[in-house]
Amino acid sequence: MAGGAQLSVTDLRQAARHPVEFPVLAEHRRLGDIHMHITNISSNGFMVEGEMPIGRGERVMLRLPEIGRIEAHVIWVSEGRAGLQFERILRPDAFAAMVGHMQPRAKPRLRIRK
């Protein structure tokens, strides 16, 4: 793809991003399964960290909590990170439920009574 993906979803960079630590297995039509680690997510896309064997404009299919299967397009790749945009903007209620599953839970602190 010479010019990258022709996306129907506008790049909404102002969308609230939520920090997460969420491993996901994406499916690529040529390479098969690709392990990704999502580090932040918004209702229109997400960022991954780690080795990225695909480039700008390529597509993957992944399964997310509350959302199910959704396609995403690689928008940028740089220095061990990549940004992907969902094929569609996620509904606010489904997005909130998904983030609740993805965000690390605070570990309960042990209280020692004297």
Q: Is residue 40 part of a domain?
A: yes
**64/76 Cα distance (integer angstroms):** 21
The sign one gets for the Cα dihedral 59, 60, 65, 68 is positive
Q: Is residue 58 part of a domain?
A: yes
Residue 88's nearest CA partner among 100, 103, 73 is: 73
Which residue range(s) make up the domain with 35? 18-79
Q: Is residue 98 part of a domain?
A: no
Which residues lie closer than 8 Å to 26 by C-beta, 6 or more apart? 33, 34, 35, 36, 60, 61, 62, 72
Q: Is residue 34 part of a domain?
A: yes
Q: What is the pLDDT of residues 4-53, one digit of tens each?
A: 444 444 444 557 889 999 999 999 999 999 999 999 999 999 999 998 89
Q: Is residue 107 part of a domain?
A: no
Q: Is residue 47 part of a domain?
A: yes
Q: State the average pLDDT for the chain.
A: 85
Q: How many domains does the chain have?
A: 1
Cβ of 109: how many Cβ atoms within 10 Å?
6
Q: Is residue 13 part of a domain?
A: no
Whether residue 104 is predicted with pLDDT greater than 70 in this model: the reply is no
Q: Is residue 71 part of a domain?
A: yes
Whether residue 66 is predicted with pLDDT greater than 90 in this model: the reply is yes
